[in-house]
Amino acid sequence: MFRGSVRVGALFGVPIEVNASWLITLSLFVFLLGTAVYPSVLDGQPLWFYWTLAAVSGIFFFASIIIHELAHSLIARRSGIPVRAITLFMLGGVSQITRDARRPLIEFVMAIAGPLTSVALAGIFLGLAYAPGLRDNRTQVMWQWLFVMNLSLAIVNMAPGFPLDGGRVLRSALWGITGNFRKATQWASYVGRGLGYALIAAGMLVLVRVIPWFDPFSGVWFILVGLFIDNAARASWTRTRLLDDLRAHPASSVMQTVLPRIDPDLDLLQTMSRYYQPRYGLCAFVVDGDERVTGMVTDVELARVPRDRWPGVRAGVAMQPAAAIVTASPDADLASVLEQMEAAQQTQVPIVEDGRLTGWVSRARIVGIIMPQTAPGR
Ligand SMILES: [Zn+2]
């Protein structure tokens, strides 16, 4: 979803990633503040002052979005749901929460935490704007801008279109009332798609100047946000339906039982040429002299080594050690296997029964059950 994201650090153990598209948004805000907004409300200042104030505003805005996402992420983690990362992209921030909550109340709290945090931040910035000493200061306009931005962030995110925060709140309410997660997701996605289409239509009207009180540039923005929401709402519903269908199948029903065991001294090129399956990717288990599994080599480990070095790297060195691998039991349902796999960023998962390796399942195989026509190449 976010190709070209760079990890810039971590907060409370949650990785923070910045996508290249976010830099466009950030520079646009800083540019507009430095050249238009600040010079128009605050005259008689040197040029460097406008630009410095704009840059500092950008940093605070960046921090505000991260704090909003952190609220979602920390509640998710507290509820036992792993968070892969917080990613900032063109339209704001996203917490990459690896699975849905198991209860409506948790989903509700997790969703509302973000907008509530933004409201709290807006309150702090409003306080700063009118604090003694800052009130008549030439930085006041920056605190006012940050107040407006955080309040807007809260309001926009509370729009009821799934998967926005407001849509998640709506889903948790429908889920709580009906007790049916699947139906609740479906209805919330419909509202999300409706909101997306409404935004696209509004954007077009702004572009052709039927709605005159926005500049045409905002029209493009509305259309982009509308497309994003429509797309995300559709994807979320597809995913929920897929996971729901997978819940009916145990891992044992699809696992491959021929276990590709390899010697730790086998090099990656040979491992690849012997055990790579075009449909399901690479999966080989490294075993020691007593036939005990010590690690696994899959596409993920293979991708870490440049292709021209495959003949020189041994499987025992490149492998993911057994202790670090997520495994599943044969009767685990496929939805939870898939979710675990995604949280651990594995493409394959070993199936273990009473401590004994009995098979393995690839991500592509699971997805292929539900959507045989769209099964990816690996
Ligand atoms: Zn949010």
Beta bridge partners of 9: 16
Region 66-81 average pLDDT: 91
Secondary structure letter of residue 174 according to DSSP: H
Q: What angle do CA 133, 135, 137 make, to 5 degrees?
A: 75
Kindly give the distance from the C-alpha atom of residue 258 to the centroid of ligand 1, in angstroms, as a whole number: 45
Q: Are residues 108 and 70 in the same domain?
A: yes
Q: Are residues 269 and 121 in the same domain?
A: no
Q: Are residues 140 and 2 in the same domain?
A: yes
* Structural domain harbouring 111: 1-158
Secondary structure letter of residue 42 according to DSSP: S
Q: Are residues 236 and 272 in the same domain?
A: no
Residue 167 lies in a domain: no
Residue 151 lies in a domain: yes
pTM of the model: 0.74
Secondary structure letter of residue 37 according to DSSP: I
Beta bridge partners of 19: 5
Task: Dump pLDDT digits (tens) for 285-337.
Answer: 887 777 777 888 888 888 888 888 888 888 888 888 888 888 888 888 888 88
Residue 117 lies in a domain: yes
Kindly give the distance from the C-alpha atom of residue 361 to the centroid of ligand 1, in angstroms, as a whole number: 34
pLDDT at residue number 374:
46
| Selected residue with higher pLDDT from 107 and 371 | 107
> Which one of 246, 280, 295 terminates a domain?
246
293 contacts 324 by C-beta, under 8 angstroms: no
Kindly give the distance from the C-alpha atom of residue 185 to the centroid of ligand 1, in angstroms, as a whole number: 17
350 contacts 340 by C-beta, under 8 angstroms: no
Kindly give the distance from the C-alpha atom of residue 40 to the centroid of ligand 1, in angstroms, as a whole number: 32
Task: Dump pLDDT digits (tens) for 227-263.
Answer: 988 998 898 888 888 888 888 888 888 888 888 888 8
Kindly give the distance from the C-alpha atom of residue 346 to the centroid of ligand 1, in angstroms, as a whole number: 27
Q: Are residues 239 and 151 in the same domain?
A: no
Q: Rounded CA gap, 34 and 336, in Å?
A: 49
Task: Dump pLDDT digits (tens) for 188-200.
Answer: 999 999 999 998 9
Q: Rounded CA gap, 207 and 74, in Å?
A: 40
Residue 105 confidence class, pLDDT cut points 50, 70, 90 = very high
Residue 2 confidence class, pLDDT cut points 50, 70, 90 = low
Residue 267 confidence class, pLDDT cut points 50, 70, 90 = confident
Residue 67 confidence class, pLDDT cut points 50, 70, 90 = very high
Inter-helix orientation angle 216-246/363-370, to 10°: 90
How far apart, in Å, do the first and last CA atoms of the chain sit? 17
Q: Are residues 237 and 258 in the same domain?
A: no
Q: Rounded CA gap, 305 and 77, in Å?
A: 32
Q: Are residues 200 and 269 in the same domain?
A: no
Question: In 3D, which of 363, 357, 360 has the Cα closest to residue 294?
Answer: 357
Question: In 3D, which of 357, 323, 329, 325 has the Cα closest to residue 341?
Answer: 325
In this structure, which amino acid lies at residue 135?
Answer: R
pLDDT at residue number 378:
36
Q: Are residues 51 and 183 in the same domain?
A: no
Kindly give the distance from the C-alpha atom of residue 114 to the centroid of ligand 1, in angstroms, as a whole number: 4
Residue 166 lies in a domain: no
Q: Rounded CA gap, 215 and 208, in Å?
A: 10
Q: Which residues contact 291 (CB under 8 A, 6 or more apart)?
A: 261
Q: Are residues 112 and 147 in the same domain?
A: yes
Residue 163 lies in a domain: no
358 contacts 257 by C-beta, under 8 angstroms: yes
> Which one of 225, 246, 267 terminates a domain?
246
Q: What is the CATH number of the domain that holds 344?
A: 3.10.580.10
Task: Dump pLDDT digits (tens) for 324-347.
Answer: 888 888 888 888 888 888 778 888
What three-state secondary structure class fits 25?
helix
Residue 165 lies in a domain: no
Residue 377 confidence class, pLDDT cut points 50, 70, 90 = very low
Q: Are residues 258 and 208 in the same domain?
A: no
CB atoms within 10 A of CB 357: 19
Residue 164 lies in a domain: no
156 contacts 114 by C-beta, under 8 angstroms: no
pLDDT at residue number 162:
79
pLDDT-above-90 percentage for the chain = 19
Kindly give the distance from the C-alpha atom of residue 64 to the centroid of ligand 1, in angstroms, as a whole number: 11
Kindly give the distance from the C-alpha atom of residue 67 to the centroid of ligand 1, in angstroms, as a whole number: 10
- 13: which 2 tokens? 């153990």
Residue list, CB under 5 A from ion ligand 1:
114, 157, 165
Task: Dump pLDDT digits (tens) for 122-174.
Answer: 999 999 988 887 777 788 888 988 999 899 889 988 988 877 899 999 999 99
Q: Rounded CA gap, 188 and 169, in Å?
A: 9
Q: Are residues 73 and 151 in the same domain?
A: yes
Number of domains in the chain: 3
Q: Are residues 279 and 222 in the same domain?
A: no
